[in-house]
Amino acid sequence: MVRRVVASLVLAAAIMGPAGRATAFGTIDTAGQNREHERITRAAVACTGPDRFCFEPRSADQLAGQGKRFGAVGAPDLTEPFDPTAHCDGADYLDGDYPRTRDAATASLRACVDHLRGRFREAVDRAAHLLDAEGAIVPAAVDLGTDCEFDSPREQRAKCRALESFGRALHGVQDFYSHSNWTDEADPTRPTGADNPPGLGLPTPSPVLDLRRDRTPTVPPGLSTGCFVLHDSVPGVEECARRVTHAGLNKDLGTIDPRTGEATDPTTARGRVGRNFARAVAGAVTETRRQWRDLRAELRARYGAAKASLMVCALRLDRPTAGCRGIPTAVAAGVLVGVVGLVLFGLHRRRPRRP
């Protein structure tokens, strides 16, 4: 989201004026950002309540980030800052006389969904390496003695690699709610148009962001995300001229409570309209929880319940070799059945026979 500032902070200061700040849910604590991605992710999945599938502190740090360290959810701001499919940009459309068609906008949105599906499946693939051939957790694969190094060939820990892929998927689905009009409303004091597109006010999570299945998402006719260029502005310039822009539609910046997800003090124009910022953040939190549920479900479908249970445990616990069962559930159940059978057989042998 505020990704591009991070991708080249020095260049950004030199070439971008005040009206052209590139923004999205923030990843850092400068340039107007307040680590919004981190705070959304923590509110969704970090251990602050009774959720038995929550992420313990050290593992949450790797997924969400902490302080000046990028977590997995911030990785696209480092390596994919200008890729619209990583941030669901460029799916802009307005009914009427508009520079691009509904079909073109829909194709851009589907490209984003396909990209995020690839990241989601990558996380499922990489989770396989959390376990050894016998189905036990590999200690070296889950060790968090040092922080994960995202997008680094040096990083070989399966936990870090799976979290990176999942975090990249989360970044894009969170951006969808900030960069689109799915949850929001237009400014009622101004006429609708490219600089004030209609809002859809739809509930969350969005069926468009089903990353588990290959089916083509149905896109509402009025759905739009903003066109982005480096000199992001309202009205749009360069290829974004006469189009709905990221600058005009985003709800990226404000204050988010990392425990509750409460969103206040929005600082973008669209975010200050009504409850637009709060609704975008609430949608992103809800979506993050949905994707974590879906990841667990996909692990079960791919690897079976016993292995998936260990994989999920390994991803979310700080010391999984101590906190997760070392014997897969199915194996343990088989051992238990065998023991019970032997006991019953022994009792049967010792029972006195009738004369």
Residue 343's pLDDT band, with cuts at 50, 70 and 90, is very low
DSSP 8-state assignment for residue 96? S
For residue 348, pLDDT over 70 is answered with: no
What sign results for the dihedral spanned by CA atoms 82, 8, 163, 139? positive
Q: 137 burial class (0-12, 13-18, 19+ CB within 10 angstroms)? A: buried
pLDDT tens digits for range 305-316: 999 999 999 999
Q: Is 6's pLDDT higher than 80?
A: no
The answer to whether 171 and 151 have CB atoms below 8 angstroms apart is no
Instruction: Name the pLDDT band for 342 (thresholds 50, 70, 90).
Output: very low
Q: What is the mean pLDDT of residues 315-324?
A: 97
Q: What share of the chain is helix, strand, coil (3-state, %, to 5)?
A: 50, 5, 45
Q: What percent of the chain has pLDDT over 90?
A: 79
Average pLDDT for 174-195: 98
pTM equals 0.87
d(CA 211, CA 201): 22
Q: For residue range 35-92, what is the model confidence (pLDDT) as tens digits? A: 999 999 999 999 988 889 999 999 999 999 998 888 999 999 999 999 999 999 999 9
The predicted structure's pLDDT at residue 350:
52
pLDDT above 70 covers a percentage of the chain that reads 84
Helix (H) or strand (E) holding 65: strand 65-66
Cβ neighbours of residue 346 closer than 8 Å, sequence gap 6 or more: none
Q: pLDDT-derived band of residue 21, with 50, 70 and 90 as boundaries?
A: very low
**pLDDT, position 240:** 98
Peptide bond into 205 cis (omega under 30): yes
Phi, psi of 196 (to 5 degrees): -155, 65
Q: What ranges do the domains of the chain cover?
A: 3-327
Q: Is 150 exposed, middle or buried (0-12, 13-18, 19+ CB in 10 A)?
A: buried
Question: Coil, strand or helix: which one is 72?
Answer: helix
Mean pLDDT of 90-116: 97
